[in-house]
A = this chain, B = another copy of it.
C-alpha cells in the first residue's frame, strides 16, 4: 500500500505513553513507544534485529530497551549499546527509530526523510490552546476500514442525515447540496441548513424557540486530519458565515492513524464554545458522539468487507462525491510527488 511518508501521523494519546513499553501499528509496522527519563517519547521498530523477538517483550532500563530473549540492548536512538557475553558490537546492530512530537494531546510520528521532520508542520487548531474554549479528549476508535474510506466520510456532510438521524442530523438536511473548495493542504466542504428545527444534539445546550440555521464546515488536512466545525444559531439572529462563533460552535477533530490497509484508528476530541467547565455536558456530548461515530464505524466496516467481496464492481458516482474525490486526488498527488523526488 502506497502512502505519504513525509508527514506527521497521529499515533497514540499522549497520556497512554509512559515508562512502560507499548506498541502501536502504523502502515503495518509495529512501533515500540516509551518515554525516556527526560519525558520525550522514543519510537522504534518493535523488532530485535537478532532473532526478531518483539522488543516490547523486553525491559526498559533507563532510556534503553533490553531484549527479553538474549539481552541485546538499544538506546532511545536505536543504537545497540550492549550484547551480553560478547565484547564487540557490530556497526549494523542497531534498530530503526522514528522522530516523534506531541501536539493536541497526541504523540505524532514521522516515517519519512528525517531531515524534514519539523514539528511545526504538525496540524494545530488555534482554539485547542485558547482558555475560552473547552477541550475534551475522546476515544481511540478502531475502525476496520481503510483510512481513506474514513476520510471520504469526513469530507461528506451529506451522510449525516442518513447515518446519524437520531443524533447529529435530521431530515431537514436531506436535499441541501454541499459545496467544496481547495484549502492549502486539503479540502473544505460545507453546507448551511437554514430555518430548520434544531437537532436533538444542540437542543440540550441552548434555548431555541424558533427555527435555526445549522452549519457544517468539514476541513480535511491531507492525509490524516479532519476538523468538523459544526454549530447552530437561531435563524432570526442574522449572522454572516464568518461569525459562526456567535452561535453554539464545536470543533470535532479526527486525528487518524492508518494502522494497515484495512484498519485505522480515529482519535477524536472536541473543542467547544459553550457549557465551558461543565463536566456533565462534556460527558453527555461525548456519549452522543460515541454513538454517532460508532454508526460511522458500522457502515465503514461493512463497506470495507463489500469492497473486498466485489473488487471490480462498477460504481455509480454522485454529486456528493466531488469533495471526497478532491481529497483523494490531493493524497495521490502527495504520494506521486514523493515518488518523483525519490526517483
Chain A interfacial positions (CB closer than 8 Å to B): 28, 30, 47, 49-54, 57-58, 66-72, 80, 83-86, 90, 92-93, 152, 158-159, 161-163, 174-178, 298-299, 302-303, 306-307, 309-310, 313-321
By a CB distance below 8 angstroms, the chain B residues around A92 are: 316
Query: Is there an interface contact between A310 and B54, defined as CB atoms closer than 8 Å?
Result: no
Query: Is there an interface contact between B158 and A318, defined as CB atoms closer than 8 Å?
Result: no
By a CB distance below 8 angstroms, the chain B residues around A162 are: 58, 66-71, 84
Query: Is there an interface contact between A70 and B316, defined as CB atoms closer than 8 Å?
Result: no
By a CB distance below 8 angstroms, the chain B residues around A298 are: 57
Query: Is there an interface contact between B84 and A49, defined as CB atoms closer than 8 Å?
Result: no
Q: Report the Cα distance A176→B314, complex, angstroms.
A: 56
Say whether, besides A90-B316, A163-B69, A176 and B85 are in contact (CB < 8 Å).
Answer: yes
Selected contact of A159 from candidates B69, B90, B93, B319, CB within 8 Å: B69
- Smallest Cβ distance from A47 to chain B, in angstroms? 6
Say whether, besides A57-B302, A318-B70, A320-B70, A313 and B85 are in contact (CB < 8 Å).
Answer: no
User: Which chain B residue shows the least CB distance to A50?
Assistant: B316
- Smallest Cβ distance from A296 to chain B, in angstroms? 10
Q: Report the Cα distance A233→B66, complex, angstroms.
A: 30
Query: Is there an interface contact between A85 and B306, defined as CB atoms closer than 8 Å?
Result: no
By a CB distance below 8 angstroms, the chain B residues around A303 are: 51-53, 69
Q: Most B CB atoms within 10 A — which of A47, A158, A162, A303?
A: A162
Query: Is there an interface contact between A302 and B54, defined as CB atoms closer than 8 Å?
Result: yes
Selected contact of A177 from candidates B72, B86, B306, B320, CB within 8 Å: B86
